[in-house]
Structure 1
Amino acid sequence: MRSAPQTVDVKQFIDDRPVSLYQWFVIAVCFLILTIDAYDVVAIGFAGPSFIGEWHITKAQLGTAISAGVLGMTVGALLGGPLSDWTSPKRVLIVMLMTSAVGSILTAFVGGVGALTGLRFVTGIGLGAAMPVGLTLVHEYAPTRRGSLLVNFVNCGVMLGAAACGVVAGIVIPVYGWGSIFIIGGVIPLGLAIAAIFVLPEPLRFMVSRNWPAQRVAAVMRRIAPDVAFDSSHFVLSEDEQSQKKVGVAVILSPGFLFGTLMLWCAYSSACFVFYLLNGWMPLLIRDSGATLSQASFITSLYPLGGALGALCLGWLMGRFEKNTVVAIAVAGGGVALWILGGQKGNLGLLAASTFAAGMCVNGALMSMASLAATFYSSSGRTTGISWMNGVGRFGGMLGPLAGGLMLKANVDVSTMFALLAVPMLIQAAALLLKRSAAARTGALEYPSNLA
């Protein structure tokens, strides 16, 4: 066993070594967390027909319960970052996983829409706070060269969780009733939360920036590098000392980060507007383009599939080229794909191809935003930066389906609707390029490099 240097830069140490089994373990646990969180988010949609049939409620009443979950996720995202800075990211992750788990389990026993609405709000708070913390952990334990790819890979767990919920719902609801999908969606995160207490670490740079005892930092470092002795090592960060004098909201709204923060919020809100509008209305729009019901279902399924592939491709490209530019180009490609998609009536081949391409670009760019935020902020503001971007962006997500409904009510044709989506996508791309150009003009340092 070799001895570590007297002074160890924790991020540089991770960058200089191959990814260890322990790092892969942390990444895998975070992937599972995002997967089950996404399962819980969409579960109410699969139980919705049962609620309407058993409780004799309207679709509008069910929509209120669904909206309560989205509102809860917004509140959770806005609270999660500051709470992580006040306590620690790991503690917030565990508490919020337990919150969403208890909310989901209790949902299985409700008897009316009022209780359902309240519990979906509580569950949403837990989900909204846990997701950004999980992504922060992945970024902290990934080497810089693979950071964007691994963050995007973990984000693909969202797609897997949503798909898995549909499969599980089709199997268990006919046999055990609608409550069973909520029981499953509560027991698994509860188990993950208990396991996380013992197996998940705090973010390394969080521990170093808060001057935690060297022994605690060394204990995590030994898991990463069992062949290195850290007995007399002093742990430091390569980030400038000035950035560590503030934490959380004070960092992301400080003069050095404020413009970039606003551009991230603008870009993510625009991305969520398009994403949630398409998620809510794409099957209907595809049918209006000339597809049958079964054809529309198949073609629509290509949209999230393309998103998963797009996220991985963009993550790979972001590790080799300037990150903001890569995502902005993808957004522009998504606008072109949607424009082509809107012009296809009866041409099922081009309809399927353009839907898949739109998924790659639109969904892939959305899932890459977390990586942009993670690499933009210093460790003292990273969790809050990701959380608040998610929270602010969900306001755009709330407006998207509403705007889609209003356009359909006004009998706007399909080609025009898809063309109009170029506007928020143009805003997203412009915001990212403005963020990059401002950093280039001022020479502002973005973490871990100027290419973040």
Structure 2
Amino acid sequence: MHIQTFLDQQKWSGFQTLIFIMMFLVAFFDGMDTAVMGYIAPDLIHDWQISKADIIPVLSAALIGAAIGAIVLGPLADRFGRRALLLVSVFIFSIGCVLSSFAINLTQLEILRFITGLGLGAALPNAVTLLSEYCPAHKRAFIVNTMYCGFPIGAAVGGFAAAYIIPHFGWESMLLISGVIPFLLCICMLFLLPESVRYLLLKNTNDQRIPQILGKINASAREQQFELENSSSNISMLQAMRTVFSSKYAVGTLSLWICFFSGLMIFYSIVNWMPVLFKEVGMPPHLGPIVSGLFALGGIGAMLNGWLMDRFNGNYVIAVCTFFTAVCVALLGTAIHWSLLIFIVLMISAGTLQNTAQSSLPVLAAKFYPTEARTTGVSWMCGIGRFGAVVGTLCMGYMANNNMAWTQIFTVLAIPAVVMTVCMLIKNIAENEAKDRNTSTDFAKE
């Protein structure tokens, strides 16, 4: 029996729910640890008597590390397994975050945040891939998108927690908490998390762990012999990269990269800099992290997007979200002069649309690539996209340092959302052309 056929025929089990919960928590703490520097930045600037320009390398260090981690470490999962890389990744970012709380100068903090980023970048692509390979095909987008909601929820909870914890216990405590809890999660995963059965099948069809693992979903699996789809094969990392850039996937790959890059430009520009900018214009100190948290919390809309993507064209679903993101973000600069309430409503709307689209891209990529190159494809998309976070942070820093007007700042931030819309439409056209070519080839053979 094909492994996907077995998964499609079973009811969702408690064992799969356990995998979902662990992957959701990985995404949750990935989001919290990635966004934490933006929340502590105002207090860090005050305590260490540094300027906004000085804080830019610190804000960027984890993002650069995450980009490298996704590109270099992420694809190793196609060679050494999803589980092993996931455990290593969570361990790296949890320990890095704990050590960051003890930094005594900017150089130490930059180095430790870079190390933290290496783990952050590799963790999420592997979590997406592992969970997607335990999902029935007809519910995959909804389940994986719901799991990925952990990332924006983690970023949002970090903002709400920072508004309370930092005034009472200091910014160091926020880093400590953001590292200790995922370390405990790592210990739990060491004992509870299984390897991807698709990966095990790809490496060895006679692996005795396969029926034992699937038996936890349905006991009948212990009597079955499983195989992958005929199109899947065990290939090297170099061959996986060639697959990602082959004529069949090249346009889609570039579209996904640019789209993910552009989305993270918007996300981190707002999450990392809004607390600082809000404090500068005289708003209550606790309001910046809360508003940034509300923007990140919008990612829970990915659950609805996942349901839609299981039923409709995912490219179109994401394109619609990004188009209206551009509209909302462009209006933010004007709304800040109208009313704080209108500004917050627009911020939540922009966050819901943008993070819904962003959270949906990994599952779109996981469905796009074949098993043997899936983690490589998703990891490289996330890795290249993480550089968008760096660019967004730097651009926002430049605009803030040059005292640009709010209207200009948010008009610039709306441009990446338009780019995302265009990329999704291009990817859809390329996929339709590829299907037409395959249909023509099959007809000619007949």
Q: CA deviation at 1:407?
A: 4.2
Aligned to 1:90: 83
How high is the TM-score relative to the length of structure 2? 0.87
Aligned to 1:271: 263
Equivalent residue number for residue 429 of structure 1: 421
2:303 is the counterpart of 1:312 = yes
Distance in 2 of aligned mates of 1:201 and 1:264? 29
Q: Which residue of 1 aligns with 2:136?
A: 143
Counterpart of 1:126 (choices 114, 119, 127) is: 119
Which of 69, 74, 85 does residue 67 from structure 2 map onto? 74
Match of 2:384 in 1: 392
Deviation per CA, 1:229-253, whole angstroms, max 9, x where unpaired? 433x321122514x65455323212
Distance 1:411 1:46 in 2: 21
Letter in 1 for 2:270: L
One of 19, 29, 38 as aligned partner of 2:12: 19
How far residue 126 of structure 1 moved from its aligned partner, in angstroms, is: 1.0
State the one-letter code of the partner of 2:120: L
Change (3 A) 1:445 1:114: farther
User: What is the letter of the counterpart of residue 238 of structure 1?
Assistant: E
Structure 2 residue ranges without an equivalent (≥5): 439-446
Q: Is the 8 A contact 2:295 2:351 kept in 1?
A: yes
Shift of 1:19: 1.0
Q: How many angstroms apart in 2 are the aligned matches of 1:206 and 1:291?
A: 54
Residue number among 92, 97, 105 corresponding to 2:98 in the alignment: 105
Do the aligned residues in 2 keep the contact of 1:222 with 1:230 (CA within 8 Å)? yes
Matches within 5 A, 1:53-452: 55-169=48-162, 173=166, 177-226=170-219, 228-231=220-223, 233-238=224-229, 240-241=231-232, 244-245=234-235, 247=237, 248-282=240-274, 297=288, 301-308=293-300, 310-344=301-335, 345-347=337-339, 350-407=342-399, 412-443=404-435
Q: Is the 8 A contact 1:285 1:414 kept in 2?
A: no
CA distance in 2, matches of 1:173, 1:301: 15
The alpha carbon displacement at 1:393 in A equals 0.9
8 Å contact from structure 1 (residues 256, 444) kept in 2? no
The residue aligned with 2:443 is none
| Cα distance in structure 1, aligned partners of 2:317 and 2:379 | 22
Structure 1: which amino acid aligns with 2:242?
A
1:5 maps to none
Q: For 2:226, what is the secondary structure of its paired residue? A: strand
- The structure where helix makes up a greater share of residues is 2
Contact 1:140–1:203 (CA<8 Å) still a contact in 2? yes
Deviation at 1:339, TM superposition (A): 3.5
Cα gap change, 1:105 to 1:425, in 2 (>3 Å): closer
Q: How many Å separate the matches in 2 of 1:267 and 1:390?
A: 10
Find the aligned partners of 2:291 and 2:51 in 1 and give their Cα distance: 29
Structure 1 residues 199 and 214 mapped into 2: Cα distance closer, same or farther (>3 Å)? same
Q: How far is 1:302 from its partner?
A: 4.0
Per-residue deviation, residues 348-373 of structure 1 (Å, max 9, x unmatched): 55444433322221121111111111
Q: CA deviation at 1:430?
A: 1.5
CA distance in 2, matches of 1:50, 1:418: 25
Secondary structure at the counterpart of residue 403 of structure 1? helix
- Residues 401-446 of structure 1 show CA distances to partners (whole Å, capped at 9, x for unaligned) of 3333444566654444434444322221111111111111121899
| CA distance in 2 between partners of 1:110 and 1:401 (Å) | 22
**Partners in 1 of 2:94 and 2:275 — Cα distance?**
31
Residue 197 of structure 1: how far off its partner (Å)? 1.9
Aligned mates of 2:43, 2:103 — CA distance in 1 = 13
Which digits, 9 at most, give the CA deviation of each residue in 1:269-314, with x for residues without a partner?
12122222233455688899x9965897566554233332x22221
- Pair 1:187–1:416, CA change in 2 (3 A): closer
Deviates more, 1:38-47 or 1:121-130: 38-47
Structure 1, unaligned stretches of length 5 or more?
A: 1-7, 447-452
User: 1:39 is matched with which residue?
Assistant: 32
**Cα 1:270–1:108 shift into 2, 3 Å:** closer
Alignment: residue pair count: 434
The answer to whether the Cα contact below 8 Å between 2:69 and 2:122 also exists between their aligned partners in 1 is: yes
Report the 3-state secondary structure (helix = DSSP H, G, I; strand = E; otherwise coil) of the residue aligned with 1:209. Answer: helix
Query: Aligned partners of 2:194 and 2:46: how far apart in 1?
Result: 45
Q: Which amino acid letter does the alignment assign opposite residue 353 of structure 2?
A: C
Aligned with 1:224: secondary structure?
Answer: coil
Q: Determine what percentage of the aligned residue pairs are the same residue.
A: 34
Inter-partner Cα distance in structure 1 for 2:161 and 2:416: 35
TM-score (norm 1): 0.86
- Superposition deviation, residue 73 in structure 1: 0.8
The one-letter amino acid paired with 2:185 is L
Tell me the alpha carbon deviations over residues 135-167 of structure 1, each in whole angstroms, 9 at most, x when there is no partner.
112211122222112222122212232233345
Say if 1:239 and 1:378, in contact at 8 Å, map to a contact too: no
What secondary structure is seen at the aligned counterpart in 2 of 1:41?
Answer: helix
Pair 1:444–1:265, CA change in 2 (3 A): farther
Q: 1:307 to 1:299 in 2, by over 3 A?
A: same
Q: For residues 440 and 80 of structure 1, do their structure 2 counterparts lie closer, same or farther at Cα, with a shift above 3 Å needed?
A: same
